Amino acid sequence: MKSKYSRFLFLFTAVLAMLLLISCGGSETEEPAAVATDEPAAPTAEPVIDEATGETVKVGLSFSDFATERWKNEEVLMRGLLEAKGYEVLSQEANHDVKLQIDQIDNMVSQGVAGLIIIAEDGDALATAVDNAAAAGVKVLAYDRLIKSPNIAAYLSFNNVEVGRQQGLGVMNALDIENWDVAANGPARVVKLGGSPTDNNAILFRQGQDEIVDPYVEAGKIEIVADQWVDNWDAANALKIMENILVAAGNDIDAVVASNDGTALGALQAMKAQGLAGSVPISGQDATADGVNSIVKGELTVSILKDIRDLSPLAVDMMDQLIKGEAVDGLQSYTMAELTNDPTQEGEVDCFFLPVQQVNAENAYDLVVASEFQSYDDVYRDIPEGDRPARPGEESDAPAEETMDEPMKVGLSFSDFATERWKNEEVLMRGLLEDLGYEVLSQEANHDVKLQIDQIDNMVSQGVAGLIIIAEDGDALSTAVDNAAAAGVKVLSYDRLIKSPNIAAYLSFNNVEVGRQQALGVMEALDIENWDVAANGPARVVKLGGSPTDNNAILFRQGQDEIVDPYVEAGKIEIVADQWVDNWDAANALKIMENILVAAGNDIDAVVASNDGTALGALQAMKAQGLAGSVPISGQDATADGVNSIVKGELTVSILKDIRDLSPLAVNMMDQLIKGEAVDGLQSYTMAELTNDPSQEGEVECFFLPVQQVNAENAYDLVVVSEFQSYDDVYRDIPEGDRPERP
C-alpha cells in the first residue's frame, strides 16, 4: 500500500533522478512517507530572482546526517518543494560532524543563500555560525532541532515536551504505577534512556518525561536504577548501554523510558536476550515502521507519532514567506530559557509547534496504518496472516478467491540505511518494481544479522517470489537464503555476496579491480617506483579494510594486495598497521587512525583505505596531525564528500562504481528470474573465486559492472559532467574563483 508521502514524491521524478543518481528513461520512483500537496510535479515555477544580482535566489539545506533515515526523505521532499517555488537549492549533510556542518553553513552563506533550513547536529555549537548568517541577512529556520541563538528567524518543530510526557505516561500506564505495591515489590525499578545530549529535543523529551516520572520518584513508588544518554541516537550504542545496565541490575528492572524508536529497539535487543521484552514496558518515538511493528508484536509499549508529513511542506512555506518578508501565521514567541529548559539562556524566538500523539497497541492500526503514515505490510510484516487485522478498506472475512489476482511479491532486504546509498537504492528499486506490477515488501536490519535473517524468513513466509538482498553478513545469511531457494524464491545477491551457491544470481561491480585501482592510485601518488629506500627507509603504509563481514571488503583487499605486496616483498614498503572497520563506520575509522598515528609517532607515508566513509574518518585524524594532503589515501564510491575532498587535495583517489546502473539492472534481472526468462550477460564463477577462499564450494551466476578510478585530474569529467554528483556538492566549499565552470 502506498503512503500519502509516497504518492507525493512520486510526482518528483526529476528531483529523485538527480538526487538518486539515476536516469531511467522517464520511469517514476517513490520515497516512503510524505504528504500530498498542490505543488507542481517539477520545478516549473518562474525562478525567484534576486533584484540586486539578477540571479535565482538560493536556499540552503543543512542536515546533521543521513544515517537518521527520515532526514534523507525530507531532504528529497524539501528540495523538490523549494525548486517548485522557483528557488535554487544548495544541500549539505554533515555525517554527525559538527565542525563540518559549521563549515558547510559558512560556505552556503558565502555563496549568497537568502535562507537556510538547518537540522542541527549540535544546537550549541552552531549558534555562532547562525549568528554570522543572520548578520549577513540570511533567514535561518531551525528545523525540528533548536539552535541556541535568538537570531534564528523561526523554529519549527513538534511539541517536544509533550513527546516526553506521552512517553512517560505510556510507560507509567503499562506499569500500572498507581496500583504498584511498594510494600510487596519495593519501588518500581526504572531505567531512563535519553537521546543524543547535543540534541536540544532530547533535553525537552527528558523534561516532559520527568514531569510524569519525578512525582512517583518523590513518592517512593519509583527508583531510577540507571540514567544514560545515547550519543547520535545510535541503536547499537543503546544495545551496549542496556546490556551493561542489565548486568549491573541483575536484570531486575521494571520499566524503561527511552526517547526514540531506534534507541528503544536497540535496548530491546538486550532485553530480548534476557527474556524481558514484552514484560518490561518501554517507550519510543517517531512511530517508525520497525517501532510500530514491535508494538503490534507486544514488545515496544508506546511510540509517539510526530506526523512529519506536515513538517517539510510547512518549513518550505515558512522559508518562502520569511525570504519575501511576509507574515508567517501561527508563530508564537518563546524565551530561549523555556525552549532549552536552561534559565541562563537569553533572548526570544518565534516558534511553530505541531501536535503529537501517543501510539500504542490499541490505536496503532488507526493512527499509523489507516492514516497511511506507515504501510500495512511494513507494520504487520512478520505477523501471521490469521493474526493480522484486515487491510484498510477490506473486509476481514473476504473470501480467499478474491485475492487470487493479487500482484506477485518481491522482497527487498537491506543490511542498513546508515550507509546513505542504500536508502536511495531502496526508493529506486521499490518504484521500478511497482512500475512492473509487483507488490514490494521492504526491510532494513540496522546492522543486526539476526534481525535480517528473521526478516528474510518472514518475507518468504509471506509468499515473495523473489528477494533482492544486501547482506549484512554473507556467511550468516546463507542458511536463510538456502531455505528461501528451497521454497522456490529467486534470490538476487545485490552488491554483496551471500555465500550460498543457491542464490539465483550475484550482481555487483568488479570488486577485485576496485582494490587494484585504490592501491594503484596511492602507489602512483607515493611515486613508489622512485622511492629511495636508502634515504628514507621503506614507505610506511597503513591498510584500512572495510567491514570484515562484507565479502566485498575481502575482495577489495585481494585487489589491493595484488598491487602492494610486490613492493612489500621488494623491501620498498613496510605495513605499519592493518586493521578492519566494523560496519564501515567513519567514527570507528577515526578512532582507529588516531591510535595508529599515536603508535607510529605520526610516521606514515600512505593509507590504502577501502571506501570514502572510512577514508574521510581517517582523514579527520590525519588533519589533526597536519598529514592530510601530504599522505596519499584512497577511498571508494565517489561520494559527494569524497570527491569534494579530492578536489581540495586531501583524499587522493576514490573509485567510481556507477550505481545508477545497478538498481535498474537488479530489477530487470529479478523480473526475468521470476518469469523464467534468460538473463543476458551472466557468467559462472566458483564460490572459491568469489570469496578468495578455496574451501568454498559451488558455482554462482554473476554480472559484474566496471569501475573507474577518480582523482584530481578526472573528477570533474567523470563525476560532475556525468552528473553522478552535482557541481554544487563537489565544489561546495571551494572559492568561486578556484572552481571550474559549471558543465
How high is the pLDDT of residue 232? 86
Sequence-ordered list of residues with C-beta below 8 angstroms from that of 527, at least 6 positions apart, any chain: none
How high is the pLDDT of residue 395? 54
- The CA–CA distances, whole Å, from 460 to 406, 448, 486 equal 16, 19, 10
526 compared with 27, residue with greater pLDDT: 526
Strands 188-194 and 255-258: parallel
Cell (9 digits) for 325: 518578508
Torsion angle (degrees, nearest 10) of CA 372, 373, 374, 375:
10
Residue whose cell numbers read 487470487 = 404
Cell (9 digits) for 58: 538560493
307, 373 Cβ separation under 8 angstroms: yes
For residue 178, the 8-state DSSP code is G
CB atoms closer than 10 angstroms to residue 128: 13
Largest Cα–Cα separation, the chain: 84
CB atoms closer than 10 angstroms to residue 181: 10
Calpha distance 87→130 (Å, rounded): 21
The answer to whether residue 556 scores a pLDDT higher than 70 is yes
Reported as a pLDDT band with limits 50, 70 and 90, residue 69 is low
Strands 332-335 and 348-354: antiparallel
Q: How far is CA 244 from the centre of its chain?
A: 26
Rounded to an integer, the average pLDDT of 328-332 is 89
- Pick from 175, 172, 253: which is nearest to 210 by CA? 172
For 419, the enclosing helix (H) or strand (E) is: none
Q: What is the CA radius of gyration of the chain?
A: 26
Give the mean pLDDT of the chain.
89
Least confident of 435-444, 689-698, 706-715: 689-698
Percent of the chain beyond pLDDT 90? 72
Rounded to an integer, the average pLDDT of 233-238 is 91
Strand partners, 143: 156
Domains of the chain: 4-152+308-355 (3.40.50.2300), 160-305 (3.40.50.2300), 405-508+665-698 (3.40.50.2300), 511-658+710-738 (3.40.50.2300)
Calpha distance 141→135 (Å, rounded): 14
Strand partners, 685: 700
Q: Is the pTM of this model over 0.85?
A: no
